[in-house]
Amino acid sequence: MSKSEWEQLGKEMGMIEAPSCWGRPPRDISKYINGLKAEDCSNFLGHYMLPLIHGRVDDRSFTALQQLVLAMSLAVSYEIESNELQLIDSLLKQFSDWFYSTFYRRDYDHLQVCKYTIHALLHIPREIRNWGPASYFWQYAEVT
């Protein structure tokens, strides 16, 4: 997305009148990205991102972000079946593959985009197997 599209998205986000049960009201992400709390990021991912970016990113990127949102939504469910855990694993691998092929591209000059948080996504299914649904051990509001 261009800078102006990102700023417009932020303005739209700042105008959302979200239910208070979702926690903190949304803020203009283009202005406050560095000051967001985990709850803000969780709400952005679970409630706001997909509708706000629809039509602003290419289809491949939108599909990858849908995979991430679905995986995170399943990960914080109160009960997770074995087939859902397999789906979470598959979705996160697909998202990770998209991320690295889109931003890193095995180019040393792009190495700085290889953040631990992207890699850590691949460990979520293992942690769910060890500890149960993420809603019981993650320390931010769940994505509903």
Per-position DSSP letters for 26-78, written without gaps between them: P--HHHHGGG--HHHHHHIIIIIHHHHHTTTS-HHHHHHHHHHHHHHHHHTSS
What are the pLDDT digits (tens) for 44-102? Answer: 888 899 999 999 999 999 999 999 999 999 998 999 999 999 999 999 999 999 999 99
| Count of residues making up the chain | 144
Q: How many angstroms separate the CA atoms of 39 and 62, rounded?
A: 22
| Share above pLDDT 70 across residues of the chain, in percent, rounded to a whole number | 96
Q: How many angstroms separate the CA atoms of 144 and 138, rounded?
A: 14
pLDDT for position 98: 95
pLDDT band at residue 140 using 50, 70 and 90 as cut-offs? low
pLDDT for position 141: 47
What pTM was estimated for this model as a whole?
Answer: 0.82
Closest CA to 64 of 34, 105, 100: 100
What are the pLDDT digits (tens) for 76-92? Answer: 899 999 999 999 999 99
